[in-house]
Structure 1
């Protein structure tokens, strides 16, 4: 099971390393009572992008990656947000098609997308990644994740 998770994470990392970054296409939130919904529009690369607030400190641009087991941050994003890492202590945390993936596993105090919030979210800080990924360690905490056509929606009952 551990090898499977590492392969899935590595695949997500490879996608992140291969794709150009760009501004999020859309991430509007609507609140009805306590329920929240965020609807994202597919970008020109065929992927969904959104901004998320990390540890109540700042915003990070993420590519939504339903195939990634964890939220993954670039070293630059982690440093900017004050995530406690030491690249000198990075170790192999996954295996990808092009070889070992080095980084550090961390716990984020919070991840929030358009008012949908999760606390104590496991994440990876990845050496060499140019793109942060919003993976299952956040998405699995959302009540519903739906994709239809060029739209991906996150629904949280609150």
Structure 2
């Protein structure tokens, strides 16, 4: 009777079941903006994080101002974003645009949309690459907003390329197989 492969399979499943929570915590340190929960008991938060890790997604914690933020690499430069599901495109502050090497003249400014305070002026741009954890989008439509924008916005021109965006309480899950 050959039992070697069956025992190996059972041992592998047991090992993966034992190590997966540890791997999930390791993934959180790299991709999540908040510390792992102190409790080792299963919770909705732990389940959301584990699901996101297993499906290749990213979990963002709601911040004190009620928004979700992510750090992404834009054309090889780290950029801090407010995740804005209502923004049509990615919008870069003037400071962030300069940091990644984009330049413009005042004459390049055109009306690009309407905001709460009226017409928004900016410079249309196309970003070669945005990378957030394991997901990369290329040739992403964007706009440079030289004045009036405090933080860059990660809008639908990037988010629509993910497999999904879901809010679960105070956590937002980006991408993955959701």
- The TM-score with structure 1 as length reference comes to 0.74
In 2, Cα distance between the equivalents of 1:27 and 1:121?
27
Q: What residue is the counterpart of 1:15 in the other structure?
A: none
CA distance 1:152–1:31, change in 2 (3 Å)? closer
- How big is the shift at 1:27? 7.4
In 2, Cα distance between the equivalents of 1:117 and 1:51?
13
1:36 has 2:61 as partner: no
**Deviation digits for residues 95-126 of structure 1 (CA, Å, limit 9, x no counterpart):** 33423211111110011111211111000111
- 1:1-158 counterparts in 2 under 5 A? 26=33, 36-55=56-75, 57-128=76-147, 129-156=149-176
Secondary structure at the counterpart of residue 143 of structure 1: coil
Counting helix residues as a fraction of each chain, which structure ranks higher? 2
CA root-mean-square deviation? 2.4
Could you tell me which runs of 5 or more consecutive residues in structure 2 were left unpaired when the two chains were aligned.
1-31, 36-48
In 1, Cα distance between the equivalents of 2:106 and 2:71?
25
Q: Which structure is higher in RCO with an 8 Å CA cutoff and minimum separation 6?
A: 1
**Deviation digits for residues 24-43 of structure 1 (CA, Å, limit 9, x no counterpart):** x71799765xx521100000
- How big is the shift at 1:90? 1.2
In 2, Cα distance between the equivalents of 1:118 and 1:77?
18
- The TM-score with structure 2 as length reference comes to 0.66
In 2, Cα distance between the equivalents of 1:106 and 1:78?
10
In 2, Cα distance between the equivalents of 1:120 and 1:47?
26
**Max radius of gyration: which structure?**
2
Counting strand residues as a fraction of each chain, which structure ranks higher? 1
How many pairs align? Answer: 131
